[in-house]
Amino acid sequence: MKFSIPIIAVLLLFSLNVLPQQKTSLFSVSTAKPVDQVNVFLGSSADHGQMSPAASYPFSMLSIGPQTYPKTHTGYEYLAKKFEGFTHNRFEGVGCQGSGGNIFIKPFLGSDPAQSELIKASEKAGPGYYEVGFENKIKASFTVLGKAGKHAYQFPVGAKGFYLDLGYAFNGAFVAEEHEVNGNTISGWITSRTTCGAGKYKLFYYLEMGENVSWKVLGEHKLIATLQSGITSAGINIALSSVSVAAAKASINKNAFAAVKAQSREDWNANLSKIAVNGDLESAKLFYSLLYRTMQSPYVISETDGTYRNTKGEEQKDKEIRYNGWAIWDNYRTQLPLLSLIAQDRYAGMVSSIADLYQSGKKDYAGQNEPSNTVRSEHAIVVLLDAYRKGYPVDFNKIADSLVKEVNGLDYKSPDKALESSYDNWALAEIFKILKNKEKADYYLAKALEYKKYWNKDFKDMRKNDVDRMQARGLYQGTIWQYRWFVPYDFKGLIELDGGEESYLAKLDEFFDRDLYNHANEPDLQVPLMYNVTKSGYKSQYWMHQLAADTVIQNYFNDNSRGIGSYIGKIYRNQPHAYLRTMDDDAGAMSAWYVFAASGFSPACVGWPVYYLNVPLFPTVTYNLPQGKTFKIETVNFSLKNKYIKEVFLNGKPFKKNYITQEDINAGGVLKIVASATPVKISDTENWISSLEN
């Protein structure tokens, strides 16, 4: 009986509904800032993204970040306690053991840097800044604004200084350097090998410390800057340039650290606010953390007066901002199309910079005189065609001969290369159509159509025992199953090759039913969208939602393994161990995939300004466009259980298409998607399908 009163009381509270309720926290741009939602530690542990929390700025070659022991490709491991020091550049999210890591600086106590350990005690970071406190009471803070950065240090009283290693680089990529010490400044240039070691880049720098610094040379590339023992705070200003030491010096920012940090934060917020989501707070945090990753590269390489260096190392000048630092094979289907929408003020310069590659000796990976770190540029021709059709100026006449030379030299030695090379042949055929050169357009269209013989040879018969084996038949980081779908330029022809729509659907169903899809890499990234070319488009809506926000089974990894420690769970998680094991973000490629899926539309085929629709992951998503226009996607009946599109309205009128265009988006307006928990299996929409018969 002694329990009767509390039980009755609890029941009464339940009936009155006055017990504390678990409420979902909501995010709105009207009450909070996107910049405050970003978790820069996402994907910064082990091989789960290869991202870092370095202080950075949109599209800046300068990022100041920590070097830990052990480290990942970007120099940092979230779980590491021991720090080696700090460096000033890195290529976020890419493979080949990473690259960058130039201008190494270690603050130390005492007289011997090697005997002064940096053990992490505290840490915090956000867009534009990073700070860490160590057990020895040193505290280091960094911020970046444009090409300029600032260090701020707190020291205990006693002997102290900075150890500099100008011959440091990730992955042993250092090549050469020259420097000059002048009073409290040091300046010069450094040459290092690019990502994957294919080429070399050269950066110029200017670095200044506080007064009363005494220098000691330890070796050819190593120095110590000793501070006075009574000093308890010290700062360093640094700036990078692709052009010259003088240009780097001109970029030095002498404003107070707090002011620079605040401006960097506001600039990041302005960029992140190009897309406004409203809905679940935790989902918004994930969204903006990934959107942040889409704006790290390519890098601005020109100065305020318009000077820049091309990939031959030649100094040039133009009023349009120039960029370098490409990972086009990785991100041409996701990050670059996203930038064509959210960075329209920059994208014309990026497109011109890609076209410039053809005038200064474009390589698939990198040349020997790159103006910045870079990765690779295959399918640049497709990006240029895509940009032109989105309204960006491209002077194809100027680079036509170089485009022809590149396409004529494409590799068909492996099955995947044959399909990828056909994509570029198709793009060149389309460019010659634009140039009204029918003879060459027809020639390269015929070359593109040759993909069919390669497809029939290697991808038609799926009964062979190697079709699910990584790198079988010389494939690059993929399987026959994963590459067989890589015909984005001719889905209509692919269906015919596969025996018609029913046979095509049966193979597509088998592909997903057997968990043969690999989201850890790019080769089959477009396949979840490929139901859209059939009567079963609702299955694309299912898979886009599932891969972006729900539990999946992943059997393939980038160490070319299959079925070893298969992963079950969500792919996109807002934590240091984000993504799948071995899944790199690849210069914003995988982050941009999520941003598109969460927005409710994704690129159908780069080269055509077309996007397939799916149910967004937020009740409303608004793209803030130039000239004050907005494109708002509203989801009626929003729920994560409602994965399917019931009907669509554009500006209040029924919209009977399974796709929208860049023109639709740029015109502004409201796209209303009515969501449903049950699929619409008989649809009356107009389905966009690529075809070489056009």
Q: What pLDDT, in 10s, does the model give residues 441-454?
A: 999 999 999 999 99
Task: Report the 3 state secondary structure along 503-543.
Answer: HHHHHHHHHHHCCCCCCCCCCCCCHHHHHHHCCCCHHHHHH
Instruction: Report pLDDT digits (tens) over 313-371.
Output: 999 999 999 999 999 999 999 999 999 999 999 999 999 999 999 999 898 999 999 99
HSE of 447, CA atoms in CB hemisphere, 13 A: 25
Q: Report in angstroms the alpha-carbon separations of 187 from 180, 184, 244, 314, 693.
A: 5, 10, 10, 21, 58
Supply the Cα-derived Rg of the chain in whole angstroms. 27
- Give tens-digit pLDDT for 604-618: 999 999 999 999 999
Helix 380-389 to helix 344-357 angle (10° resolution) is 140
pLDDT at 6 over 60: no
Q: Tell which phi-psi region holds residue 264, choosing left (phi > 0), alpha (psi between -120 and 50) or beta.
A: alpha
Contacts of 255 (CB under 8 A, 6+ apart): none
Domain residue ranges of the chain, discontinuous segments joined by +? 32-273, 395-460
Peptide bond into 127 cis (omega under 30): no
Q: Work out whether the CA dihedral 57, 59, 60, 65 comes out positive or negative.
A: positive
Q: Round to whole Å and give the CA distance between 205 and 405.
A: 36
- Phi first, then psi: give them for residue 368, nearest 5 degrees: -95, 0
Q: How confident is the model at residue 21 (pLDDT cuts 50, 70, 90)?
A: very low
What is the spatial distance between Cα 572 and Cα 594, in angstroms, rounded to a whole number?
8
Interhelix angle for 451-458 vs 415-434, to 10°? 160
Dihedral over alpha carbons 396, 402, 404, 406 (to 10 degrees): -130
Band of pLDDT at residue 398, cut at 50, 70 and 90: very high
**145/251 Cα distance (integer angstroms):** 10
Q: What is the structure's pLDDT at 693?
A: 85
pLDDT at 602: 98
Q: Which two tokens stand for residue 27?
A: 């995010």
pLDDT at 171: 93
pLDDT tens digits along 49-93: 999 999 999 999 999 999 999 999 999 999 999 999 999 999 999
pLDDT at 119: 98
Cα separation, 286 vs 277, in Å, equals 11
Lowest pLDDT segment from 11-20, 464-473, 496-505: 11-20
Instruction: Say whether pLDDT at 11 is over 70.
Output: no
pLDDT, position 444: 98
- What is the pLDDT at residue 257? 98
Start-to-end Cα distance in the chain: 83
CATH class of 32-273: mainly beta
State the Cα–Cα distance between residues 297 and 93, nearest whole angstrom. 10
642 pLDDT band, cuts 50/70/90, is very high
* 376 bridge partner residues: 327
What digits encode the pLDDT tens for the residues 147-156?
999 999 999 9
* pLDDT over 90 at 548, yes or no: yes
The DSSP annotation for 366-413 comes to: --SSBSS---B-TTHHHHHHHHHHTT----HHHHHHHHHHHHHT---S
pLDDT bin (cut points 50, 70, 90) of residue 37 is very high
